[in-house]
Structure 1
Amino acid sequence: MTANVVTVSPDHSVRHAAQIMLDHRISGMPVVDDDSRLVGIVSEGDFLHRSELGPAAISPNEARGYVKGHSWKVADLMTSDVVTADEETPIERIVMLMQEHGIKRIPVMRGQRLVGVVSRADLLRVVVAAKFDDDTAAGDDAIRRSILTRLREHAGVKGDALTLRVSNGLVHFSGTVSSQRERDTVRVVAEGVRGVKGVYDHLYLALP
């Protein structure tokens, strides 16, 4: 997570919040009150409803839409129903929350205190820092068994119509697959096994 969090007050102006986001090159930030309690979050998406962008940005015949579009206060623009996590929340749960709620950042709380924010950029850092974790033993036979196991148990590919041969770390696939996606899955699984030096695709797509 990012611990040095840029925040804004609900009493600040909408224009001031926009300037902070531009200055810090961020797409959203928590809103905290005078007691440092989290009261909302404001993001680029909230600004899509502003009257400054033209009449089409305002939700017609909707009181809430008018308020978000015309009020000068962050309190009226922000999203107050905030999805949060605590410091012990696993990264898998963070990802699930982002997917479920269609959000890009999640404030991290320690009790009632804001201690950080996890954003999609933080998830990219996790991907970059991840270590290659593979316990496949050395040798062509071990590579072949590992590929077949991963195809069945992790990728959902039965491989009944596949022929797999491994020679000096070079993987050769032949046979038939049901779709291009299955073909790509077979290749990606093989490329992810330790000891594989190359993957050769001799597969055919089954006719519909």
Structure 2
Amino acid sequence: MLVRDAMSTLVLTIGPAHTLREAARLMSARRVGAAVVLDPDTYGLGILTERDILDAVGAGQDPDRETAHGHTTTDVVFATPEWTLEEAAAAMARGEFRHLIVLDRSEAVGVVSVRDIIRCWLPARRRAQAAVSA
């Protein structure tokens, strides 16, 4: 199974000036755990995750004053739609993160999360177990 089969094509893109509260509100409304941060003036694509927001709030930072720019991961590992789910899971395990931005020709076309991979693997595993039992 490939990343394209599991990824969400709903890509929330925000700018570096969005406050953490604005980012959290948008992520919650779209029911996603990460936002792609697009900053063409500096580092290009980065990612802001629910964990980044949680860490900032837990450290006592004001979500109405802190911006995405200060909490964005910019040394991002990107996947392609043609990666296998095993390749994506291995990259996540190595980097100790839960989301990958999926690029196709330098364009963000999706985000794949650990949850997305599990959702694909569980039905496949059930089918394989049923075939063995039959």
Choose the corresponding residue for 2:127, options 118, 123, 132. 132
Deviations 1:151-180 (A, max 9, x none): xxxxxxxxxxxxxxxxxxxxxxxxxxxxxx
> Would the aligned equivalents of 1:9 and 1:34 in 2 still touch at CA under 8 Å?
no
User: What residue number does 2:11 align with?
Assistant: 5
CA contact (8 A) 2:103 2:109 kept: yes
Secondary structure in structure 1 of the residue aligned to 2:120: helix
Structure 2 match to 1:14: 20
CA distance in 2, matches of 1:24, 1:94: 23
Task: Provide Cα deviations, 1:38-87, integer angstroms capped at 9, x if missing partner.
Answer: 5211112212332x54xxx26xxxxxxxxxx4662211111111111112
Where is the helix percentage greater, Structure 1 or Structure 2?
Answer: 2
Residue 194 of structure 1 corresponds to which residue in structure 2?
Answer: 133
Q: Please name the residue that 2:94 is paired with.
A: 100
Give the share of equivalent positions with the same residue, in percent.
30
List alignment gaps of at least 5 residues for structure 1.
Answer: 59-68, 135-190, 196-208
Using the alignment, how far apart are the partners of 2:119 and 2:44 within structure 1? 25
- The answer for the alignment partner of 1:185 in structure 2 is none
Q: Which amino acid aligns with 2:24?
A: A
Cα distance in 1 for partners of 2:109, 2:118 equals 20
Change (3 A) 1:38 1:116: farther
Asked if the contact 2:12/2:34 (under 8 Å) is kept, the reply is: no
Gaps spanning 5+ residues in structure 2: where?
1-6
Question: TM-score scaled to structure 2, two decimals?
Answer: 0.76
CA separation of 1:38/1:87 partners in 2, compared to 1, >3 Å: closer, same or farther? farther
Matched, 1:42 2:37: no
Per-residue deviation at 1:19?
1.1
Are 1:112 and 2:118 matched, yes or no?
no
The CA RMSD measured in Å over matched residues stands at 2.7
Partner of 1:156: none
Aligned 1:14-163 pairs, distance under 5 A: 14-33=20-39, 38-50=44-56, 52-53=57-58, 57=59, 69=61, 72-130=66-124, 132-133=127-128
Number of positions where the alignment pairs a residue of Structure 1 with one of Structure 2? 124
The runs of 4+ residues in structure 1 deviating greater than 3 Å are none
User: Does the 8 A contact of 2:20 with 2:68 survive in 1?
Assistant: yes
